[in-house]
Structure 1
Amino acid sequence: MPQLNNKTASLTDRPSFRLAATAFAAVLATLSSNARAFEIDTGNPDVAIRWDNTVRYNYANRVESRDPKIGNSAVSDEGTYSFDRGQTVANRLDLLSEFDITYQKRFGARVSAAGWADGAYGSTSHSNPLPPLSNIPSYVNHQYSDYTKRYYRGPSGEWLDAFVFGGADIGNVPVNAKLGRHSLYWGESLFLNGNLNGIAYAQNPLDLQKGFATPGVEAKELFRPLNQISAQSQITQDLSIAGQYMLEWDSFRYPEGGTYLGPVDFAFNGPDRQFLSSQLGFAQRGNPSEPKQHGEGGLAARWSPEWMDGTMGFYWRNYADKLPQTFLTQVGRNISRYNLIYADNIDMYGVSFAKNIAGISFGSELSYRHNTPLNSTVLGIAPGLPTEGNTKGPRGDTYHGLINAVGVIPKTALFDTATWAVEMVWAQWAKVTSGANLFYAEGFAACAGKDKWDGCTTKNYFGTGMAFTPTWFQVWPGIDLSMPITYAVGLSGNAPTVFGGNQGNGNYSVGLGVDVRQKYRFDIKYIDYLGSYRSTNGTAVTSQNGFTTLLKDRGFVSLTFKTTF
């Protein structure tokens, strides 16, 4: 198999770059003509129509040198070799278009769609130029799959929201409902790790591809809408109830293997295969084992009596997981396949409490998951497993909790104002009900001779996330300056569920933001990842505590422009 030169072709020679550049120039021309977000005048005061378009251009450059031990691992070499230090890792144009129509502020519809193109990604993947790793790529012939091309290079797009809504009074009780593609978010979690351990987990699939590229982003910005029916009713002044029934299932969107922020070369839906050994050859990616498209549902109640001066929430949901377990199965002599397995029929019971104290907004959650998938062995050949990945892997019950606080600091000698948020997360496995031989945890067979620094689940996990943003108003006429800082890390132990968190594993970002006339936003940001790995042979990573540890050499600088018109 021929080697690929790791140098990328000139960006300006790529069709996707030319398309993005042309579109961006058109957007700037529109902006210069003073076009603005607008409401369409219908001539009827009961009817309101609004059409907003948000354009975002992102340019990013790798500034951190490659870690040779990550580059020498067959599991992670293609991701870290996808771009060299100093190369452009993102040259992306995104467009979000949103259309809303309302009647008497009680009935209406909403449609939104997104489009993108990224000139940093060509048609070929890149791998370690040194044999033997250059000869065993996870993409056949070093050609990105159609899936990876669509979601990274583009140009492409997708529908997001598409729903109708309305309200009516049943007796004296107002009821509001939505039907179609939309998102719901129950509970009090703020950040991504809080969502992954919170009441809202798997209520919506999240865009982790976006989440990995923008550490510190709020969980609500990562939602991917699903087709469903939902309703909410204000029973009394102090009590409201809500419910949802899902008509569609979809998975999280992941950073795909072989891309810059793809920590594992063979995962998830993009790569074609994973090399096992010279004796076993490649394991081919098989079809995922997915749950049925409908049937998930849940109920919620929010109670806020005057004497409490706060709000309690009570929740129950039955859902299918939207993060997978990964299993390698031997389907014949020297023939292997790996599948993404999505568990279903999981019950979640939760309670939340939110209250303002001394000008600080506090939120908390405690939840229990029954029959939830647990962290499993990854790519351990198991000849007895069903060839189509019908097993759902290890299952059990887990506890999850979080507490967070959000506040504002008034003017000081250092800044005009500042916002801050902090969140503490906890998780614990309670019992294993099936598949104990596959549970990747300390004290279980799958972790024999290993410990938490090899990624083994511990009884308890604690993690934290925080954000701090000082702001300076009118540093020049019409210009505000801010400095967003984020940090997230696992403090102790490893969570029992997929992507739930690992000790020492995390990310951080430091940036500067400029708001021009509260319409044009410019951001420059440095983003990097944390983690711990082992290299028993001294030349390559042999185990790590959490797969995102394999991103610890991907530090990059990102420059973003965003506006709505």
Structure 2
Amino acid sequence: MLRKNRKDRRPVTLPRLTALASLLAAMMPLQAHAFKFDTGMSGWDVNWDNTVSYNLGMRAEGVDPMIGNNPNFDDGDYKFSHAGDIVTNRLSILTEFTASYNDYVGFRLSASAWKDFAYGSGDATNPGVYAPGISYQSLRAYPNGTYGSFTNRYYVQGAQLLDGFAFYNTSLAGHAIYLKAGQFTEYWGNSLLSPTQGISYAQSATDGIKAFNSPGTTTKELLLPRPQISMTAQVTPQVSVSGQYELGWMYNRLPTGGTYIEANDAVAQGPSGLFITTLPGALRPLLGMPPGGAFGYVVPQGNAITPPQVDNNFGLKLGWTPQFMQGAMNFYFRRLDETQPWVLANWRAIPALHTALPTDYHLAYNRGVQLFGYSLDTTLGDVSVGFEASYRHNTALNTALSPAILNQTEGAKGDVLNIVTNAIIPLSKSPLWQTGTLTAEIGYTHLLSVTQNAQLYNGVGYAGCPSNDKWNGCSTKDYVGFGVVFQPQWLQVFPGIDLSMPTSLTGGIWGTNPINPGPAGGAQGFFQYSIGVQALIRQRATLTLSYIGYHSHVNTTAVTPSGLPYASTGNGLIDLNDRPWVSLAFQSSF
């Protein structure tokens, strides 16, 4: 039996969360200020800002056996298996230091550190039996139940440097020039809630851990800084030219296996294993394994295939703000290495049985994508409207785990067209609210062609999708997704306190996204949602109580060799169906 260490773990109920919220509000100081240095030197502006955040999360319902019995999902599900278990107990701090002289030269440094007290006990699994003589524990994703270094750093405790750059603003022949060098983020285009479809795609790595733990977070807030240089020149009052050259590369920070919000137990940016659900008994002696019945086995994770740190990744942008319209148009070209991995495998052919078996699985990242884009932003009355269209050549497509290619270094590639349109609408005073905003976005992707490794493409009508069914995770030629963030607000409900109700819903309207990672990046019937109440306290701190949930379409079920039924396939992240949770988040700056 696994030792769950539960005798000291008391469920935290909603009344206790509410009481804690009231206590934190009462403890707030009357005023909070960033620290401003008095250098005694004319023209210098030096500031040091700190933001402290605390998030307490509680599982809202227990394990659904149809999810927990799946050997690819049980680690994440049984880590916190009971309603009321604390799924995150995270304290973090963000520190930011900026110094500038007359706003034309300066530098900025920022860093963050965190500790989550809910993850200290390591990995856990289904306590049952997967197959006769084979426990779920023996098939767990982490050796000896100990998290890998990546999971330890980003879930248990860690720190990171964020921004670290210098800037210089000058003029040449009467034209303003803005230079920046160091580690920072660049964000082009108008996409707000469509990170895989926007012009900003892979312009920086994305924090997927934050994306799935905080539904409704904008794309810009998910970007991770990278080393680069950039320049913008104001050619005329209406025309500007910008350039970006990247001096470093980083992968997307994915939710890892064995954590509460995960895609699959095997997803790890570090040593792990991929569970294959069936292994015919006749194959066991060929692999040097003892004879026996059919049951699953673990495939080791091999080394990731990553691009060089400097790989001629750059971007150019031409901006135009014509006088006849209240808005701007931009034209883009980017050459990029992607930050979202394919999950590939190397295979061993067994000719006598007309089959092949994987010898390892590994992550690989696509290089040299070309992107051409156009964006428009303007206002229609009080509404801010954004539009963008982009064409990507040889971008990574949804790729199947298939032995069609035995030694795999790249997955399927293709050409896609993306269109994103959005609006930010201010809420007028009404009997239901005083003010607020409504943000809505629709993203459309059209697969123009599959250009490389078509036999691996997990799409309807292709060999990589034997079921030929979008509800089974197979990509479609067209995909439409959407996102809505609705936040009505009530001012001065209590002295110094404004209240709002942040509510978000993102998901797929039709089809399955052909862009890698396929259904995990958008699928019909896959939704993330949250609803909450937020208090803005004296304009310096926020306290937010939210309910966060997920929904995916389950397509087929299966039975383990020990006779336990489980959900086996679907569209989207089906393992999150039983993992709604309640979050209490507090944030204050000083």
TM superposition score normalised by structure 2: 0.88
Equivalent residues of 2:9, 2:85 under 8 A apart: no
Displacement after TM superposition at 1:223 (Å): 1.3
For residues 163 and 444 of structure 1, the distance between their equivalents in structure 2, rounded to whole angstroms, comes to 46
1:59 maps to 56
Displacement after TM superposition at 1:395 (Å): 1.0
2:46 maps to 49
2:558 maps to 537
For residues 467 and 383 of structure 1, the distance between their equivalents in structure 2, rounded to whole angstroms, comes to 43
Residue 73 of structure 1: which of 51, 70, 75 is its match? 70
For residues 358 and 419 of structure 2, the distance between their equivalents in structure 1, rounded to whole angstroms, comes to 43
1:21 maps to none
For residues 100 and 118 of structure 1, the distance between their equivalents in structure 2, rounded to whole angstroms, comes to 28
User: Residues 439-470 of structure 1: CA distance to partner in whole angstroms, max 9, x if unpaired?
Assistant: 00000011123300001111100011001111
User: Residues 307-363 of structure 1: CA distance to partner in whole angstroms, max 9, x if unpaired?
Assistant: 133211100000000001001213699772111010100000000111100210100
Q: 1:5-20 counterparts in 2 under 5 A? A: 5-8=3-6, 10=8
Displacement after TM superposition at 1:32 (Å): 5.2
Equivalent residues of 2:30, 2:538 under 8 A apart: no
Q: 1:26-37 counterparts in 2 under 5 A? A: 36-37=33-34
Query: What code does the residue aligned with 1:83 have?
Result: F
Residue 184 of structure 1: which of 176, 186, 195 is its match? 186
Displacement after TM superposition at 1:220 (Å): 1.3
Displacement after TM superposition at 1:5 (Å): 3.0
1:297 maps to 314
Equivalent residues of 1:371, 1:397 under 8 A apart: yes
For residues 258 and 130 of structure 1, the distance between their equivalents in structure 2, rounded to whole angstroms, comes to 17
Displacement after TM superposition at 1:31 (Å): 7.0
User: Residues 347-389 of structure 1: CA distance to partner in whole angstroms, max 9, x if unpaired?
Assistant: 00000111100210100111000011111003x346721xxx5
Equivalent residues of 2:32, 2:589 under 8 A apart: no
For residues 108 and 503 of structure 1, the distance between their equivalents in structure 2, rounded to whole angstroms, comes to 47
Residue 344 of structure 1: which of 347, 355, 367 is its match? 367
SS in 2 for 1:536: strand
Displacement after TM superposition at 1:34 (Å): 6.1
Unaligned runs of 5+ in 2: 11-23, 131-135, 288-296, 351-356, 560-564
Equivalent residues of 2:167, 2:181 under 8 A apart: yes
For residues 362 and 78 of structure 2, the distance between their equivalents in structure 1, rounded to whole angstroms, comes to 25
User: Residues 138-170 of structure 1: CA distance to partner in whole angstroms, max 9, x if unpaired?
Assistant: 11111111221111111x101000000001211
Residue 145 of structure 1: which of 148, 171, 185 is its match? 148
Equivalent residues of 2:345, 2:358 under 8 A apart: no
TM superposition score normalised by structure 1: 0.92
For residues 302 and 184 of structure 1, the distance between their equivalents in structure 2, rounded to whole angstroms, comes to 15
Does residue 240 (structure 1) correspond to residue 248 (structure 2)? The answer is no
Displacement after TM superposition at 1:221 (Å): 1.2
Displacement after TM superposition at 1:111 (Å): 0.4
1:551 maps to 576
Query: What code does the residue aligned with 1:127 have?
Result: T
Number of paired residues?
540
Equivalent residues of 1:257, 1:271 under 8 A apart: no
1:330 maps to 347
For residues 268 and 496 of structure 1, the distance between their equivalents in structure 2, rounded to whole angstroms, comes to 23
Query: What code does the residue aligned with 2:588 have?
Result: T
SS in 1 for 2:558: coil
Equivalent residues of 1:452, 1:545 under 8 A apart: yes
2:294 maps to none
SS in 2 for 1:253: coil
User: Residues 382-421 of structure 1: CA distance to partner in whole angstroms, max 9, x if unpaired?
Assistant: 6721xxx5x2111110111111000111211111102110
Equivalent residues of 1:6, 1:83 under 8 A apart: no
Residue 426 of structure 1: which of 431, 444, 447 is its match? 444
User: Residues 265-306 of structure 1: CA distance to partner in whole angstroms, max 9, x if unpaired?
Assistant: 000314511232454732111111001111210101111111
SS in 2 for 1:187: coil
Equivalent residues of 2:48, 2:95 under 8 A apart: yes
1:174 maps to 176
1:250 maps to 250
1:443 maps to 461
For residues 527 and 506 of structure 1, the distance between their equivalents in structure 2, rounded to whole angstroms, comes to 11
SS in 2 for 1:202: coil
Cα distance change, pair 108–342 in 1 and its aligned pair in 2 (3 A)? same
Equivalent residues of 2:25, 2:543 under 8 A apart: no
Equivalent residues of 1:329, 1:382 under 8 A apart: no
Over the residues paired in the alignment, what is the CA RMSD in angstroms? 2.1
Query: What code does the residue aligned with 1:513 have?
Result: Q
Cα distance change, pair 533–30 in 1 and its aligned pair in 2 (3 A)? closer
Displacement after TM superposition at 1:195 (Å): 2.1
User: Residues 36-92 of structure 1: CA distance to partner in whole angstroms, max 9, x if unpaired?
Assistant: 312111112310100000000000000123221111111111111111221000000
Displacement after TM superposition at 1:213 (Å): 0.5
SS in 1 for 2:49: strand
Does residue 203 (structure 1) correspond to residue 203 (structure 2)? The answer is yes
For residues 520 and 483 of structure 1, the distance between their equivalents in structure 2, rounded to whole angstroms, comes to 16
For residues 301 and 413 of structure 2, the distance between their equivalents in structure 1, rounded to whole angstroms, comes to 23
For residues 489 and 210 of structure 2, the distance between their equivalents in structure 1, rounded to whole angstroms, comes to 25
Does residue 285 (structure 1) correspond to residue 310 (structure 2)? The answer is no
Equivalent residues of 2:57, 2:584 under 8 A apart: yes
SS in 1 for 2:489: strand
Residue 504 of structure 1: which of 525, 531, 542 is its match? 525
Displacement after TM superposition at 1:536 (Å): 3.5
SS in 2 for 1:283: strand
Cα distance change, pair 165–310 in 1 and its aligned pair in 2 (3 A)? same
SS in 2 for 1:446: coil
Equivalent residues of 2:98, 2:106 under 8 A apart: yes
Equivalent residues of 1:216, 1:487 under 8 A apart: yes
SS in 2 for 1:527: strand
2:393 maps to 370
Cα distance change, pair 306–394 in 1 and its aligned pair in 2 (3 A)? same
SS in 2 for 1:552: helix
SS in 1 for 2:84: coil
